[in-house]
């Protein structure tokens, strides 16, 4: 006990001395509305819940530490010392002794696909298959175990397994020939691999033209499809998959909510919410079963006729209006998702400079990928959506797409004036150094997925050869953006990567795989301090979702959104952060996850 109190005192002194002040932590330079709330003396009325004897990291503006907190009616009424909280303990107060455990604000996952993840759990899982033979064996086993399924669907095949030759329909035909097979790739899901039966059902042949923003891989000798479809071409096959039943979406959401709660996530943004997804969220809100706050991003279809953009915007306005009438405090649908480009590994990301290596088909020397919008169309859309009060969530992987997004948001700002829009540019695998400071200058939120930022097969075998050694040193520029003063938020992109925020936090600090044997970091100058990445997962995420007045830090007056961990991640080797477990997740004072008895 004495040692822990000494540690708390030292951490408090460090914070007050300025180690974690706003001046040095660029990711805490919030607008004035997110001011720090001083830890006050205890109010007189008893609390519903008191936690004491803890190590509480508040993530307030000066990164204060505390020992105790108190909750009444779902909000924090006290954050401070064990001595000070005594006055709030009444005969009906639930009193919890934390025994020194670490308490953090609940995590905010600012970019995920939770219902899609829930739907995938019933499919063939190819994640971490170490060879083509292993992947095919999994497909065969799954098909034999699911004879009732008319389509064999799967996910997670690793493109790096096919460096010597792309996936081919013949491989899938060898294990399943009598039913259609469609497998979505890992690393963003921008490619699908299908068998001959799926091609036959879809009617796609060598004469089928490629859709805008899509690619059909073809045999160079015959011109026939090989079975791989990229980008918008995926819909040529996926549109023939039978519709899901109405009960599958709520079931998928229930699964996702349990996973979020288990991992300490109290708020998330669904980065691509279809009408069926919106209905599932609406039903959960109505039934009172939403155990996290949800913001839904409504997709804008870039491949549709640009002349009908106005009609698309009108439909988005109507969707927002409908769900404004239905939604409650835990569900909102007022974000618009725009895809500006694709992914680097399949050469659909839009780059400022050419790819270092070309594909096997049509690319010419100097090919740098193609954005999904021309500049004028994007500028007009950004101005219209901003004027209508939508928050934009823009998918940008390549540095050209990032620059186009920034230019469009600058144009919207000039046309409509400075507003508290908090537009989001997401992924940001490559950002040109000249554009880094523009995020802070334009008030744009930089959303990254730090869990992907280490030297895995995807980055080392697929991405680095395409962008070359110099640009490879700029991949996933988390620290550069934080140092520039940008508001940086973190997301998982689940199910395309791990949902666990503690894994992402460790990777952001180390730039290593969570089970790395060595201590050498990939792109070490992009490592960030633990305090800064925690801020990205808490107060910054709340800022992105316009809930920073009420969530994201443990301050009096805010909702009691917090988690309890089984160990203090500030006091263990950074390579062990991912081993920490969430013991409790509390949303608005209510436990939404419990790992067992508090003791």
Cα separation, 575 vs 441, whole angstroms: 35
Can you give the pLDDT at residue 20?
30
At 232, the pLDDT band (50, 70, 90 cuts) reads confident
CA 242 and chain centroid, separation: 28
Can you give the pLDDT at residue 186?
85
Cα separation, 85 vs 67, whole angstroms: 9
The DSSP symbol for 300 reads P
556-594 as b/e: b if 16+ CB within 10 A? bebbbbbbbbebebbeeebbebbebebbbbbbbbeebbe
Cα separation, 62 vs 19, whole angstroms: 9
Please give the full DSSP string across 104-131, using - where no structure is assigned. EEPEEEEEE-HHHHHHHTTSEE-TT--S
At 360, the pLDDT band (50, 70, 90 cuts) reads low
Tell me the pairing of strands 265-270 and 107-112.
parallel
What are the pLDDT digits (tens) for 291-348?
999 999 999 999 889 999 999 999 999 999 998 876 578 999 999 999 999 999 888 9
Can you give the pLDDT at residue 214?
83
What are the pLDDT digits (tens) for 272-297?
999 999 999 999 999 999 999 999 99
Domain with CATH 3.10.310.70 in the chain: 114-238
SS3 labels along 350-362? CCCCCCCCCCCCC
Least confident interval from 205-214, 337-346, 356-365, 587-596: 356-365
The DSSP symbol for 28 reads G
Q: What share of the chain in percent tops pLDDT 90?
A: 80
What are the pLDDT digits (tens) for 396-445?
999 999 999 999 999 999 999 999 999 999 999 999 999 999 999 999 99
Counting every residue written for the chain, the total comes to: 599
In the predicted structure, residue 26 carries a pLDDT above the cut 70: no
Q: What share of the chain in percent tops pLDDT 70?
A: 90
- Give phi and psi for 278, each to the nearest 5: -60, -40
What are the pLDDT digits (tens) for 200-218?
999 999 999 988 878 899 9
What are the pLDDT digits (tens) for 67-117?
999 999 999 999 999 999 999 999 999 999 999 999 999 999 999 999 999
Which stretches of 119-252 are assigned E, i.e. beta strand? Answer: 124-125, 152-157, 181-185, 191-194, 214-218, 225-231
Burial of 202 (0-12, 13-18, 19+ CB in 10 A): buried
517 CB contacts (<8 Å, ≥6 apart)?
A: none
| Count helices and strands in the chain by DSSP H and E runs | 19, 24
Q: By the 8 A CB rule, do 393 and 269 touch?
A: yes
Q: Rounded to a whole number, what is the distance in angstroms from the first to the last CA of the chain?
A: 17
The DSSP symbol for 577 reads G
**Topology of domain 2-106+559-594, CATH:** Urease, subunit C; domain 1 (2.30.40)
Domain with CATH 3.20.20.140 in the chain: 248-544
Least confident interval from 22-31, 237-246, 358-367, 461-470: 22-31
The strand order across the sheet containing 331-339 reads 107-112, 265-270, 293-299, 331-339, 391-396, 424-427, 445-448, 488-490
Can you give the pLDDT at residue 13?
38
Place of tokens 């005969």: 91
Query: Span 351-358, mean pLDDT?
Result: 90
Superfamily of domain 248-544, CATH level 4: Metal-dependent hydrolases (3.20.20.140)
Q: Supply the CATH classification number for the domain 114-238.
A: 3.10.310.70
Tell me the pairing of strands 488-490 and 582-587.
unpaired
Positive or negative: CA dihedral 392, 398, 404, 407: positive
Cα separation, 300 vs 29, whole angstroms: 31
Per DSSP, the three-state class of 565 is strand
HSE-CB for 598 with a 13 A CA cutoff: 18
């Amino acid at each position: 006990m004495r040692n822990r109190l000494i540690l708390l005192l030292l951490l408090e002194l460090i914070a007050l001395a300025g180690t974690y002040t706003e001046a040095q932590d660029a990711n805490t330079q919030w607008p004035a509305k997110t001011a720090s709330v001083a830890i006050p003396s205890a109010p007189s009325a008893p609390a519903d819940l008191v936690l004491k004897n803890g190590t509480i990291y508040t993530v307030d503006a000066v990164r204060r530490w505390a020992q105790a907190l108190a909750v009444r009616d779902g909000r924090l009424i006290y954050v401070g010392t064990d001595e000070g909280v005594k006055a709030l303990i009444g005969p009906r107060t639930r009193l919890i002794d934390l025994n020194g455990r670490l308490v953090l604000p609940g995590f905010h996952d600012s970019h995920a696909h939770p219902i899609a993840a829930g739907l995938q759990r019933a499919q063939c899982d190819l994640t971490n298959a170490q060879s083509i033979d292993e992947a095919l064996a999994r497909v065969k086993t799954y098909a034999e175990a699911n004879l009732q399924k008319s389509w064999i669907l799967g996910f997670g095949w690793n493109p790096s397994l096919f460096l010597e030759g792309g996936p081919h329909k013949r491989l899938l035909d060898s294990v399943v020939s009598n039913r259609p097979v469609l497998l979505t790739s890992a690393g963003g899901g921008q490619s699908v691999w299908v068998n001959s039966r799926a091609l036959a059902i879809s009617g796609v042949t060598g004469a089928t033209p490629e859709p805008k923003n899509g690619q059909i891989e073809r045999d160079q000798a015959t011109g026939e499809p090989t079975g791989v479809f990229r980008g918008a071409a995926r819909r040529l096959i996926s549109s023939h998959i039978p519709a899901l039943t109405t009960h599958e979406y709520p079931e998928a959401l229930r699964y996702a909510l349990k996973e979020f709660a288990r991992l300490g996530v109290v708020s998330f943004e669904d980065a691509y919410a279809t009408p069926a997804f919106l209905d599932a969220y609406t039903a959960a809100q109505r039934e009172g079963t939403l155990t996290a706050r949800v913001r839904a991003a409504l997709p804008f279809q870039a491949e549709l006729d640009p002349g009908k953009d106005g009609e698309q915007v009108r439909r988005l306005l109507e969707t927002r209006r409908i769900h404004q009438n239905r939604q409650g405090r835990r569900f909102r649908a007022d974000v618009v998702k725009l895809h500006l480009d694709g992914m680097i590994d399949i050469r659909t990301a839009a780059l400022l400079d050419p790819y270092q290596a070309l594909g096997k088909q049509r690319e010419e020397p100097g090919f740098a990928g193609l954005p999904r919008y021309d500049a004028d169309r994007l500028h007009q859309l950004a101005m219209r959506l901003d004027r209508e009060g939508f928050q934009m969530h823009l998918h940008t992987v390549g540095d050209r797409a990032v620059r186009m997004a920034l230019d469009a948001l600058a144009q919207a700002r000039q046309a409509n004036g400075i507003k508290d829009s908090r537009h989001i540019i997401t992924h940001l695998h490559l950002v040109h150094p000249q554009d880094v400071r523009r995020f802070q200058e334009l008030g744009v939120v930089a959303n990254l997925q730090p869990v992907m930022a280490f030297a895995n097969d995807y980055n080392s075998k697929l991405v680095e050869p395409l962008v070359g050694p110099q640009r490879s040193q700029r991949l996933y520029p988390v620290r550069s953006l934080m140092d520039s003063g940008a508001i940086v938020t973190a997301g998982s992109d689940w199910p395309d990567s791990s949902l666990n925020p503690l894994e992402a936090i460790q990777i952001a600090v180390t730039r290593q795989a969570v089970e790395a044997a060595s201590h050498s970091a990939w792109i070490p100058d992009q490592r960030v301090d633990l305090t800064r990445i925690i801020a990205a997962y808490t107060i910054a995420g709340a800022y992105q979702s316009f809930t920073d007045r009420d969530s994201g830090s443990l301050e009096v007056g805010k909702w009691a959104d917090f988690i309890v961990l089984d160990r203090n991640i500030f006091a263990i080797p950074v390579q062990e952060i991912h081993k920490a477990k969430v013991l409790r997740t509390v949303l608005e004072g209510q436990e939404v996850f419990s790992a067992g008895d508090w003791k």
